[in-house]
Amino acid sequence: MKIQIINGPNLNLLGKREPDIYGNQSLEDINKIVSQHCDHKNIQVTFFQSNVEGEIVNEIQKLIDKKFDGLIINAAAFTHTSVAILDALNIIKIPKIEIHLSNIYRREEFRQKSLISKAVDGIICGFGVESYIYAIDAMSKIIKNGIR
């Protein structure tokens, strides 16, 4: 089973960035934790991060040939603004989960609207690093059992 994780803008600065909201772990730390979890579950996981909207669109488009079984995306600030990412997600047909470290529904009003939610199977947010782990577990079930 192959899962792609895409992280959006400013997530490369996790650990240094608003640690009271996003925690002290760097993206590298998080990727390590997620990789170890995936190793135990026999899942191949690949990570991509970009601060550039078009690069994220390009990466999503690569999934059109179904080389991966599922996509987990934390589009960060683009969650709230990007029709281009929404459109790209609508093109690819594999299972998709939107995630956030923070609970976006408990934050500023502008964060409480996700443009990309319409294109995903489900959303996990508010659990910090565990959001990634829960998403991996949910995705592996969806892929195995075909629950969509």
Task: Detail the DSSP E strand segments found in 20-127.
Answer: 44-49, 70-74, 96-100, 122-125
Contacts of 146 (CB under 8 A, 6+ apart): none
| Residue span 22-51 as binding mask against ligand DQA, x where in contact by CB under 6 A, dash where not | ------------------------------
- Name the minimum Å distance from CB 80 to ligand DQA: 6
Among 30-38, 41-49, 59-67, 101-109, the segment contacting ligand DQA (CB under 6 A): 101-109
From the list 40, 80, 100, 134, the catalytic residue is: 100
Bridge partner residues of 49 (DSSP): 7
Pick from 31, 59, 102, 121 the residue near ligand DQA by CB under 6 A: 102
Question: 103: helix, coil or strand?
Answer: coil
22 catalytic per annotation: yes
The type of residue at 76 is A
CA-angle at 54, arms to 14 and 116, nearest 5°: 70
Is 74 among the residues that bind ligand DQA (CB under 6 A)? yes
Can you give the binding site for ligand DQA, defined by CB under 6 A? 10, 74, 76-77, 79, 100-102, 104, 111
